[in-house]
Amino acid sequence: MSKIGFIGTGNMGGPMAVNLVKAGHEVTAFDLSPALLEPVTEAGGRAAGSIAEAVSGAEIVVSMLPAGKHVRSVYEDAGGVLASAGAGTLLIDSSTIDVDSARAVSAAAAKAGLAMVDAPVSGGVAAAAGGSLTFMVGGPAEAFARAEPVLQAMGKTIVHAGDAGAGQAAKICNNMILGISMIAVSEAFALAEKLGLDHQKLFDISSKASGQCWSMTSYCPVPGPVPTSPANRDYKPGFTAAMMLKDLRLAHEAAAAAGAATPLGRHAEDLYTQYAEGEGQGAVDFSGIIKMIRSLDG
């Protein structure tokens, strides 16, 4: 079992840190909001008053932060992870951030003599609590081999995607598919309603036919067919529209930098901008976009 410093115990990081404690690791956690450390200490972990305190003596550091600027600051600032971690500490950042920031922090870690992987996750708060996240990992093979057993305490599927930044690249590509497919499924249900076709009938057919996809079979945007989907609880998240918009913007930035055409990704970003910001629905589950689709002029 390892000594682990955990930075960022929010919606995702909190339950992830608790699962590390339950797996027998010695976890010391830090968050800007001390109240968020309580679930970790209740499970048997320790609360730290600073990044340096959480990282001091740790063999492994795991971070789960909102965006690239937070990750750069937590790792690179004076008193941050790179300045505080001892030789040989393995760094694992599981935040969803832009590929460039992930590569920059990883290069700064390498310069400080520390191995690092980017390991963003797929799966929401329920998967974080249930220890069933999917981790997409970028970084050197030796660092991945060290990270894998720790990630197994928090997830079910752990994939080495390639070199530094490859985990973030995989996450951004996956979530661009998700954003586009949720809009596609929502449009299909909105059209079915206008055509007098029953929700359950469309589900029974499309979930077995060529329209089958995760947005249909696991996260259906209308109530009924998939009892666990947020549509059954008035679109309480889940995964918020604001988070989806963040990921579509990351995909847009990455595509622009790489010279890749992503016309549907761009259109999905426009629609989520309208829903999350124009209509102020950022805190609603991203599948709630079906309500806006229904309201658009035909």
Structure tokens at 86: 């001892």
What number of CA atoms fall less than 13 Å from residue 116's CA on the CB side?
A: 28
Binding mask of the shown chain, residues 198 to 237, with x at each position contacting ligand NAD by CB under 6 A: ----------------------------------------
Q: Give min distance, CB of 206 to ligand NAD, in A.
A: 25
Report the residue number, 37 or 190, with the smaller CB distance to ligand NAD: 37
Structure tokens at 189: 């249900």
22 is a catalytic site residue: no
Q: Give min distance, CB of 149 to ligand NAD, in A.
A: 21
Helices vs strands, H then E, count in the chain: 14, 9
Q: Which of 84, 89, 96, 101 binds ligand NAD (CB under 6 A)?
A: 96
End-to-end CA distance of the chain: 58
Q: Are 7 and 29 in contact (CB under 8 A)?
A: yes
Report the residue number, 7 or 161, with the smaller CB distance to ligand NAD: 7
Interactions with ligand NAD, residue window 61-80 (CB under 6 A): 64-66, 70, 73-74
Which stretch in 29-37, 151-159, 219-227, 282-290 sits in contact with ligand NAD by CB under 6 A?
29-37
Rounded to 5°, the CA angle 175-179-185 comes to 130
Report the residue number, 40 or 115, with the smaller CB distance to ligand NAD: 40
Smallest Cα–Cα separation from 283: which of 223, 248, 234, 249?
A: 234
Instruction: Name the residue number minimizing CB distance to ligand NAD.
Output: 10
DSSP secondary structure string for all residues of 99-145: HHHHHHHHHHHHHTT-EEEE--EES-HHHHHHT-EEEEEES-HHHHH
Interactions with ligand NAD, residue window 110-129 (CB under 6 A): 121, 124-125
Q: Which of 5, 17, 20, 31 binds ligand NAD (CB under 6 A)?
A: 31
95 lies in the site for ligand NAD, by CB under 6 A: yes
Q: Burial-class residue 156 by CB neighbours within 10 Å (0-12, 13-18, 19+).
A: middle
Structure tokens at 246: 């963040």
Separation of alpha carbons 238 and 222, rounded Å: 14
Q: Which of 40, 90, 226, 243 binds ligand NAD (CB under 6 A)?
A: 243
Separation of alpha carbons 6 and 64, rounded Å: 8
Smallest Cα–Cα separation from 84: which of 56, 105, 63?
A: 56
- Which of 3, 69, 156, 171 is catalytic? The answer is 171
Q: Which of 235, 239, 272, 275 binds ligand NAD (CB under 6 A)?
A: 239
Report the residue number, 13 or 225, with the smaller CB distance to ligand NAD: 13
Report the residue number, 36 or 150, with the smaller CB distance to ligand NAD: 36
Catalytic positions are 171
Note the residues at the interface with ligand NAD (CB under 6 A): 7-8, 10-13, 30-33, 36, 64-66, 70, 73-74, 95-96, 121, 124-125, 239, 243
